[in-house]
Amino acid sequence: MWIRSFADVIAENKEYLTELDSAIGDADHGINMNRGFQAVLAKLPAFENQDIGSIAKNVGMVLISTVGGASGPLYGTFFMQVSKETTGKLELTLSDWVAALESAVNGVMLRGKANPGDKTMLDSLIPALNALKESNARGASVAEALSASEKAAEQGMLATTSWVAKKGRASYLGERSAGTQDPGATSSYLLLKTASQIWGNSG
C-alpha cells in the first residue's frame, strides 16, 4: 500500500531530509514527517479498509494534528484534497489520479500561498502533475504515466538546488538559500516515486 510504503521511505530518509532542512530551515523536516507518518501507521488499521477517499481524509487529519512546522498543514491539505476527488472509490483510474493530484496541488498552493519557482514542495508537485496530464492525454499506460510523473518531480526537485527561496524559513536567508536542495520538494518527490513504484508495478 502506498501510504505504508511512503511511511517506510520517510523513516529511511529522515536524517537526509533533516540534513537538507538544517541548511535552510529549522532542521526538523525529516523528524516531523517521520513523526507524522508513524502516527498514520499507528492509526491506519482503523481505516485502511475504507474507500480511498476516506483513507486519504484520515491520513490528512492525522498529519495536521501530529506534524509540526509547515509540513503538517501542507501535507495534511494534500491528502484532504486527494480525498475530495476519491470519495467512494475503491480503485483509481489514471484520470482519477490526475484529478486527485491536481486538487492536491491546488490546495497546497492556496494553503502555502506559494508559486512555482519559490523553492517549495510545489516545485516537485507541479511538474509531476503536468507530466501526468500529458501522459493521460496521449493515452499512456498507468505505469508509463507514473514513471513520467516521477521523473518530472525529480527534475523539479533537483532544480531547486540553485534557486533562492521565496517562502518559509529558508526565505530569510536570501541568496544564501541557494545551493541546497529544498527538503519539501525532496519529500514530495519521494511521495510520487513511491506511488510510481507501488501503482506502476500493479497497473
Q: What is the pLDDT of residue 203?
A: 46
Residue 136: CB atoms within 10 Å = 19
Q: 131-178, pLDDT tens digit by residue?
A: 999 999 999 999 999 999 999 999 999 998 765 555 555 454 445 445
Domain hosting residue 43, numbered range: 2-202
Q: 64-75, pLDDT tens digit by residue?
A: 999 877 888 999
Q: 81-138, pLDDT tens digit by residue?
A: 999 999 999 999 999 999 999 999 999 999 988 888 777 899 999 999 999 999 999 9
- The pair phi, psi for residue 119, each rounded to 5°, is 70, 65
| Angle formed by the axes of helices 94-112 and 122-137, nearest 10° | 150
Check which CATH number belongs to the domain holding 127 and give it: 1.25.40.340
Q: What is the pLDDT of residue 168?
A: 54
Q: What is the pLDDT of residue 172?
A: 42
User: Which contacts (CB < 8 Å, 24+ apart) does range 48-52 have?
Assistant: 48/1, 48/3, 51/86, 51/87, 51/88, 51/89, 51/90, 52/83, 52/86, 52/89, 52/90, 52/91, 52/92
Q: What is the pLDDT of residue 81?
A: 98
Q: What is the pLDDT of residue 20?
A: 84
Looking at per-residue pLDDT, the higher value among 182 and 176 belongs to 182
Q: What is the pLDDT of residue 115?
A: 81
Q: What is the pLDDT of residue 175?
A: 53
Total-model pTM: 0.90
How many domains would you assign to the chain?
1
User: Which contacts (CB < 8 Å, 24+ apart) does range 111-114 have?
Assistant: 111/73, 111/74, 111/77, 112/70, 112/74, 112/167, 113/167, 114/166, 114/167
